[in-house]
Amino acid sequence: MQAKVSTPLKDTPDSLDITLEPASNDRLANLCGQFDEHLKQIERRLGVEVNNRGNTFRVIGEGESVGAAGEVIKGLYRTTSEETLTPQRVHLFLQESGIEEMLEQQDDVEEVVIRTKRGVIKGRGPNQKKYLKNILTHDINFGVGPAGTGKTYLAVACAVEALERDQVRRLILTRPAVEAGERLGFLPGDLAQKVDPYLRPLYDALYEMLGFERVAKLIERNVIEVAPLAYMRGRTLNDSFIILDEAQNTTEEQMKMFLTRIGFGSTAVITGDVTQTDLPRGASSGLRHAIEVLKDVKGISFAFFLAKDVVRHPLVQRIVGAYERFDEQEATGGR
């Protein structure tokens, strides 16, 4: 096996290229799992993106997570010569490899405080703090990671602060409506009303920070616009704060269209989870493609969140732990 680390530009993610030898289609299929489920496990656990063509793999992420993911992939590939991998076996391998200890980070990122009329919002942990700092210092920002890590909520907080400080004239919140075909046809109303349920997380964050009545007035005045991604085509968005949520469900063409809408005086935040794509099977995710294409473009920031960055009720954390222990017992034949 050979590995080569590319030298990233400032503000861009790290990448690691791995060539697995000897090349074997059966072992590669075993490594990746059905529909790449094993690779998605690694992505979720370590906060990275893994792409592969044949026996060549590219890991994109930040710092030690990239190297850790590379070691896991190489270790699992060695294992494929002796056994058939399962999601439980991959889970155990990640636990036994000491990855969690390796990725313990010092919380030395400068704290950023976002102030809205409803209160003060701070990042929890180094990845959220870095994400907030990126948004305040870059025009285009990517937040990639599992649900519950605060990607959308923190982006909306930054957008609300920018609006209240008159740094932008309007907020534009959008997401791809991949269900806007026949499955939405039975819902009453026009297209905007049909896709409202899929924009609800954005509304919820706005209501919490600005209040229901003020949000309604700003939407009525078109200061806040919440719309499906299809409505962005052909526009140039100046002096705006634009958030593209659920970006993993964009196509490559939609992502390029969105990124080229950005005008002067605008900030864009693109959030998504590369492991949870609702696109038709075989369709390529615009978020995955954008990370690959733009990883060396100076001035675009990337924040990669880990599974441990999930911010939920403490009971949810205990539930997740219980499921992980159950999976481990099943993988080892216990009850």
92 shares a domain with 123: no
- CATH number, domain at 62? 3.30.1370.10
213 shares a domain with 297: yes
Q: What is the pLDDT of residues 157-212, one digit of tens each?
A: 999 999 999 999 999 999 887 653 445 455 556 555 666 677 777 888 899 899 89
246 shares a domain with 152: yes
3-class state of residue 189 by DSSP: coil
List the domain range (segments joined by +) for residue 67.
Answer: 2-104
261 shares a domain with 230: yes
Domain end point (choices 104, 129, 163)? 104
Domain tally for the chain? 2
82 shares a domain with 155: no
126 shares a domain with 69: no
Tell me whether residue 153 is in a domain.
Answer: yes
Band of pLDDT at residue 282, cut at 50, 70 and 90: confident
- Residue 325 contacts residue 95 (beta carbons within 8 Å): no
Measured in residues, the chain has a length of: 335
Task: Tell if the pTM clears 0.85, that is, is over it.
Answer: no
Q: Residue type for 126, please? A: P
Tell me whether residue 310 is in a domain.
Answer: no
Q: Give the model's pLDDT for residue 255.
A: 95
Indicate whether 6 pLDDT > 70.
no
- What would you report as the CA-atom Rg of the chain, rounded to the nearest whole angstrom? 21
124 shares a domain with 38: no
Q: Give the model's pLDDT for residue 9.
A: 38
DSSP-assigned states of every residue in 260-302: TTB-TT-EEEEEE-TT---SPTTPPPHHHHHHHHHTT-TTEEE
Tell me whether residue 118 is in a domain.
Answer: yes
- Residues facing 51 on adjacent strands: 58
9-23, 183-197, 252-266: which is most confident: 252-266
Q: Residue type for 146, please? A: P
92 shares a domain with 118: no
292 shares a domain with 240: yes
Domain end point (choices 104, 122, 146)? 104
202 shares a domain with 81: no
Q: Which of 150, 159, 143 is nearest to 272 (CA)?
A: 143
Q: What is the pLDDT of residues 63-111, one digit of tens each?
A: 788 888 999 999 999 999 999 999 888 888 887 776 666 666 545 667 7
- CATH number, domain at 142? 3.40.50.300
Indicate whether 269 pLDDT > 80.
yes
225 shares a domain with 138: yes
250-269 per-residue burial string, b: 16 or more CB within 10 A, e: under 16: bbbebbebbbebbeeebbbb
150 shares a domain with 286: yes
